[in-house]
Amino acid sequence: MLFIGLSTYSQNVLANPFLPAATPSSAVGSCPATHKMYYIGANPPAYSPINSQTLNWSTGNPSNTFTFVEPSGNKTFLINFPLLLDLNSNYGGTPPIYGSINGATASAINLIHNSPVPRNNHNLSISVNRTVSKIGYKIQDLDSTINASDQAPYIEQVDVSANGGQLTFNSIFHTINANRNIVTAIKGRNCGAGECNVDANWNYNIANTPLVLKHNNTLSEYNSPHAIGYSDFYFCLAPPKIIVKKQLNDNRVNDSNVNRDQFAINISNSTTSLKTFETTGTGQVVTNDNSGVVELATNTTYTITERVTNNQNNGDIINYDAAYTCNNATNGSTTIMPTTAMTYNASAKTRSFTIANATYGDEITCTIINSQSATAPFNYTFAGIVFNDNGGITANASTKQDISSTFTSNNNYYNGIFDSNESGVFASGLQIRLTDCSGNNIVSTSPNPQTVSSAAASIGRYSFNVSQNALVGRSKVCLVQTEPNPWEYSEDTTVNTQEVTLVANVYNYKTEKNSSGTVTRNLDFGEVKADNTALVLRKFQYVHTCDSTLSYPNVATTNQPTTGFSTNPANDVKPGNCIAYKLEAYNRGHVDLSEVSISDSIQRSPVESVFNLPKPLGNPSSIFKSTNTSAPIGQNGTIISDSFNLLKTSASSAEPTKATLYFNTKYGTRNTAP
């Protein structure tokens, strides 16, 4: 049976692997060494490499986009003022205004404000369509003033604390907080042009992240205009970076304590080895599975090579089939990711591929995936994964009843198949057993039962390595999943026991599909959280005057429960009136749901309701058969539908399958309050 319930929701946030462990050093208003600078302003610094353009602005326009056109892909820098208050238009037009203000700013985007009250009077947001290693600009004329009565019309303040920004300051004119992200002018200290500049900067940020500065007037003892300017905008792109990862889809060919295959992977250019790492782990589990971040040079060819190592020095990568994927996290980059097959070197017993012409800002991840070759020594392997069958849709209580195309048109959602936009899951106590299908564990060189992998590159995976002798005379084996209790993935999208038929001369068993994409062998186990369940239940109610001949299907669906079936609450129902209910069950997933049952208890306290004519009705009729006695007329109780099946959502339709149960109750037949 499938039952409907609620559960709490939590989301795991994965750290960006390219985020530097330590911020690279750089001068104020400049980039870290070897990074490329993109500058917008009137005075490009003496820095290399640099691409610069002049700062310009249309008076009164709240935003402008600056584009750097390059063969490696265009870089766009957006300057936006999403908040503009108390603007003063008496100094050349409505701000923002580009230019110089005598004695205050030079070649800047200028904001001139009145100061009627203390408040946040503008925000400045910047963003770039690339992941930046540093970004910033200059702030001009942040100050204060006073009159002869020691009254200040304004004390300016800038605040970049919201997004991890940092500020400089001039102690003659400013104070700064301990976190160095809020600078406040000193009352009455007024500066001339260039005397009180402040530099704002942010370090590593992913593409299209808005970085916001708040400009505040913290004191207004009388109204007088004040100005501030922004100039010398820049951002930095780091040299290209790569992470090489290793993944196994089968057990190792050699996997005993005396001789176990590991994989050594090297990144090199034509003259120098940049990084080598060697895996650890047993069976299919790979630990020490990546190179970490390796910095590359632009316009250079690099070779990624893998070889097998073991204690007896008899490893050969030819015993493993190999595939790899490379992805660039930098959208818009023109760097071409390699796709040609890896090259085998028979004398060195290695395989390799090359990547070339990476450019500034590229963040490339390459994953090498191995499985046992058909020519490898013949041990049996049985491998699969326990995975979150969410189709890439994050579980959320707010979408638990969503039957829109977000779910129904996502053919990867709740389909019982591990798809590319889904991930494995791990929990302590989540185990897989390899059995003879009669409850007995089969002897394996891998742990049996075994806890699924917790390693990031192979999370949720399991793998059994079995000698031929252990399977003599057997025609099948079973993989049995044991789930922990409690378990946040409370709903299965596959059975918990996968039966595998053994085929002559086939030794490597994993999930397989035919040419049309249909799964022909499944060793994977699908799970979803409760908020991602495929079964959606909606309840409607209709208040009426106890029409025993009521035709349920002819009652309209409306906003008010007094005019038709409604999901809104029914208030002030008079005792003796009737409430008809419509319960709709939907399958928004892509797996048939079997033995579904709907139940609902009618009110017993403080007043009692009873079932009333007309009798319950199912659509289709098999949902509530004539033999169902769970809703006796004139009595209180719980209605329970007959078990029924809900077919999966069709791949060619965005409409979920639906079943409906109707029943009628008479409200308040007697008071049950003490």
Predicted pLDDT of residue 508: 83
A 10 A CB-CB count for 228 gives: 26
pLDDT of residue 10: 29
Q: Which CATH architecture has domain 241-372?
A: Sandwich (2.60)
On whether the CB atoms of residues 466 and 442 are closer than 8 A, the answer is yes
| CA–CA dist 33, 69 (Å, integer) | 23
Structure tokens belonging to residue 633? 């007329």
| pLDDT of 12 higher than 50 | no
Q: Annotate 485-502 with three-state secondary structure.
A: CCCCCCEECCCCEEEEEC
Mean pLDDT of 525-551: 95
Per-residue tokens: 67: 């584009």
What does the pLDDT look like over 548-602, one tens digit per residue?
A: 999 999 999 999 999 999 999 988 888 889 999 999 999 999 999 999 999 999 9
CA distance 33 to 37: 10
Write the pLDDT tens digit of every residue in 645-658.
Answer: 999 998 888 899 99
Rounded CA gap, 80 and 232, in Å? 15
The pLDDT value given to residue 246: 96
314: pLDDT strictly greater than 80: no
Rounded Cα gap, residues 519 and 652, in angstroms: 19
Question: What pLDDT band is residue 377 in, cutting at 50, 70 and 90?
Answer: low
Per-residue pLDDT for 502 more than 70?
yes
What is the spatial distance between Cα 317 and Cα 343, in angstroms, rounded to a whole number? 11
Are both 241-372 and 535-671 of the same fold? yes
Asked if residue 597 lies in contact with residue 4, where contact means CB atoms within 8 angstroms, the answer is no
Tally of CB atoms within 10 A around 271 = 5
Q: Over the stretch 54-103, which tens digit does the pLDDT of each residue have?
A: 999 999 999 999 999 999 999 999 999 999 999 999 999 999 999 999 99
Percent of residues, the chain, with pLDDT higher than 70: 96
Q: State the average pLDDT for the chain.
A: 92
35: left (phi over 0), alpha (psi -120 to 50) or beta: beta
Strand partners, 273: 268
Is pLDDT larger for residue 9 or for residue 621? Answer: 621
**Do residues 478 and 351 make contact, with C-beta atoms less than 8 angstroms apart?**
no
Do residues 383 and 523 touch, judged by C-beta distance below 8 A?
Answer: yes
Average pLDDT over residues 184-212: 96
Q: What is the assigned CATH class of domain 535-671?
A: mainly beta
Distance from the Cα of residue 345 to its chain's centroid: 39
What are the φ and ψ backbone dihedral angles of 110, each rounded to 5 degrees? -105, 140
pLDDT at 2 over 60: no
Task: Give me the amino acid identity at 123.
Answer: N
CA-CA distance, 176 to 546, in Å (whole number)? 73
Q: pLDDT band for position 8 (50/70/90)? A: very low
- Counts for the chain of helices (H) and strands (E), in that order: 1, 43
The pLDDT value recorded for residue 21 is 85
pTM above 0.75, yes or no: no
pLDDT confidence of 379, banded at 50, 70, 90? confident
What was the pLDDT predicted at 13? 32
User: Tens digit of pLDDT for each residue in 394-428?
Assistant: 999 999 999 999 999 999 999 999 999 999 999 99
Distances (CA, A) of 113 to 16, 200, 228: 40, 21, 9
pLDDT for 669 equals 62
Q: How far apart are CA 575 and CA 606, in angstroms?
A: 12
> Is the pLDDT score of 152 beyond 50?
yes
Burial class (CB in 10 A: 0-12, 13-18, 19+), 494: buried
Under the banding of pLDDT at 50, 70 and 90, the label for residue 672 is low
Mean pLDDT on 234-254? 94
Task: Determine how β-strand 512-513 pairs with β-strand 593-596.
Answer: unpaired
**What is the CATH number assigned to the segment(s) 380-532?**
2.60.40.10
Q: Where are the domains of the chain?
A: 36-237, 241-372, 380-532, 535-671
- Would you give the distance in Å from CA 351 to the centre of its chain? 33
Each residue's pLDDT tens digit, 282-308 = 999 999 999 999 999 999 999 999 999
H or E segment and range at residue 406: helix 405-408
Under 8 Å between Cβ of 205 and 162:
no
Q: What residues have CB less than 8 Å from 176, skipping those under 6 apart? A: 167, 169, 182, 183, 184
Reduce the DSSP state of residue 513 to 3 states and report it: strand
